[in-house]
Chains A and B, each alone.
Chain A
Amino acid sequence: MRQQIRILVAALRRLLSAPISSALNILIMGIAISLPVGLYVLLQNVQDLSARLSSAPQISVFMSLTASKGEIAQIGNRLAQQPSVARTEFVPREQALQDLKRNSGLADVIAGLGQNPLPDAFIVYPKGTDPKLLESLRDEFSTWPNVAHVQLDSGWARKLDALLGFVRLGVLILGGLLSVALVAITFNTIRLQILTQRDEIEISKLIGATDSFIRRPFLYFGFVQGMAAGAAAWAIIAGSLGLLNVRFTALAHMYGSTFSLHYLTVGDSFSLLLFAGYLGWLGAWLSVSQHLWQIEPR
């Protein structure tokens, strides 16, 4: 135990003995890690946001233009009696036209139209958000008489989901590649250290050091450097999210939302540190093992 602590302290001291080159190494590795992890955090945020927005899906039921008032009322009743419908809202065609005039800036164009092109419509709020339920409701409504068109407003959420799946794959690939880069960077720093400590390694082997004894200080160094890079990545991500959040909360506020970007969770932060440490350890292991293999007696 005493030996382990001594080696750990020696690793830290070695890291601090060349502060500038250590800092640059850690920074490079930190940036390499922060890219995929930062994207991952943003992805999580977008998923959260989309889950919130699509939590109240709507189904728009557009009536045919030829439907009479009575027929429309009938549909209204049928919708209200559906067990899986929470509530419905009727939007008469006149109101829809007024809304369009007010919101779209197309007042002139609309005024030029001889007649109102918009149909009467119901906005249906179903109970539950299961896409299968929504689709079955849509299919059912569209078979009803005098219903011209049924539109599922959560369609965009599914498209976003598919898109996010695609982005997630991209983040995974990027993460994999940059992990390899991290191992390679550690491999190289350790290789340089080995060059300066060739004599120590050779002599230690001559007087009976095991490979694991020789590896240990380098492994500790790789692990400590990897952890430091993980911490740097964490700081980069936290700082960037902090900057983004200032703008983002203002933007969300304009939409009447209090949504803000969340940071890495405590668990994720620990995983990040340990994983970065592990990659550093792996790079060091590969580097020392390669050197030890080269100097075995033949």
Chain B
Amino acid sequence: MIKFSHVSKRYPGGFEALKRLSFEIKEGELVFLTGHSGAGKSTLLKLIAAIERPNGGSVVVRGQNVGSLKNGALPYLRRNIGMVFQDHKLLFDRSVFDNVMLPLQIGGFDHRESVKRAHAALDKVGLLPREKANPIALSGGEQQRLCIARAIVNRPAILLADEPTGNLDAEYAHDILNIFKSFHQVGATLVIATHDAKVLERGEGRTLALSHGELVA
């Protein structure tokens, strides 16, 4: 599903975020990406979604070499990847419901079908009663859940999450992990970057540990 071969990423200024990294993630796997901050977790996720391009090696996602994809082909790659961002990246000029509708509008889904799917996604994360609210009125945990609803609404094959439980207390974090788990159970491939010990204690899935841009476990 996702295959890294000798992948390097250097940022302008010389900082080397990833050093000749190789690993493979199979379809339907649940993978936790751990490591200190600055270890290269976010960079790795960005390379999978082609938000950044590698300086060396190849990143292959669903059989496509992502690093060499033309810009025009990137949107179609990304429609199959749901992303949960550390900073949520919600739009505050529209309602909770409209935020979840965005990926469906982009994907050109039929309007009635879209409404149904958006409601289902909001229901799954427990935000259906707040669909008309503005995201700014939501708590941090609710914003994170909204971000998850938007990531899963078009049922992508791959879900990437960057520190999804970052600033949340244990109870919220638990809820969110359960949402991910149910999504994993229906066959999606999940890659979750986290340094949260509570998450890893549950002992689910595989763990990839990064340190200074290299795999240590």
* Complex A-B, nearest 6 residue pairs according to Cβ-Cβ distance, in ascending order: A208-B79, A208-B78, A209-B106, A210-B75, A208-B75, A207-B103
Contacts A208-B76, A210-B75, A213-B106 given; indicate if A297 touches B91 (C-beta within 8 A). no
Closest CB-CB distance, A94 to chain B, in whole Å?
89
Chain B residue nearest to A199 in the complex (CB)? B91
What are the residues of chain B within 8 A of A209 when measuring CB–CB? 75, 106
Question: Contact string, A190-233, partner B, CB cutoff 8 A, digits 1/0?
Answer: 00000000011011111111110100000000000000000000
What are the residues of chain A within 8 A of B83 when measuring CB–CB? 206-207
Number of interface residues of A (CB under 8 A): 18
A69 near B: Cβ within 8 Å? no
- Can you offer 12 A-B residue contacts whose CB atoms are under 8 A? A3-B108, A203-B91, A204-B106, A206-B78, A207-B78, A207-B103, A207-B106, A208-B76, A210-B72, A210-B75, A297-B53, A297-B74
B102 near A: Cβ within 8 Å? yes
Contact of A206 among B51, B93, B107, B108 (CB under 8 A): B51
List A residues 244-298 near B (Cβ within 8 Å).
Answer: 296-298
Establish whether residues B49 and A206, one from each chain, have CB atoms under 8 Å apart when the complex forms.
Answer: yes
Establish whether residues B106 and A298, one from each chain, have CB atoms under 8 Å apart when the complex forms.
Answer: no
- A residues sitting closer than 8 Å to B (CB atoms) are 2-3, 199-200, 202-211, 213, 296-298
What are the residues of chain B within 8 A of A202 when measuring CB–CB? 89
Contact of A211 among B72, B89, B102 (CB under 8 A): B72
What are the residues of chain A within 8 A of B76 when measuring CB–CB? 208
**Interface centre among A2, A208, A297, A298, by most B CB within 10 Å?**
A208
B105 near A: Cβ within 8 Å? yes
Establish whether residues A297 and B51, one from each chain, have CB atoms under 8 Å apart when the complex forms.
Answer: yes
Establish whether residues B89 and A298, one from each chain, have CB atoms under 8 Å apart when the complex forms.
Answer: no
Chain A residue nearest to B76 in the complex (CB)? A208
A296 to B50, CA, bound (A): 10
B52 near A: Cβ within 8 Å? yes
A2 to B102, CA, bound (A): 16
Establish whether residues B106 and A297, one from each chain, have CB atoms under 8 Å apart when the complex forms.
Answer: no
Closest CB-CB distance, B147 to chain A, in whole Å?
10
Contact of B102 among A204, A210, A297 (CB under 8 A): A204
Chain B residue nearest to A296 in the complex (CB)? B71
Establish whether residues A206 and B53, one from each chain, have CB atoms under 8 Å apart when the complex forms.
Answer: no
Closest CB-CB distance, B84 to chain A, in whole Å?
11
B150 near A: Cβ within 8 Å? yes
What are the residues of chain B within 8 A of A204 when measuring CB–CB? 102, 106
Closest CB-CB distance, B85 to chain A, in whole Å?
8
Closest CB-CB distance, A210 to chain B, in whole Å?
5
Contacts A203-B91, A208-B75, A208-B79 given; indicate if A297 touches B50 (C-beta within 8 A). yes
A99 to B102, CA, bound (A): 86
What are the residues of chain A within 8 A of B75 when measuring CB–CB? 205, 208-211, 213
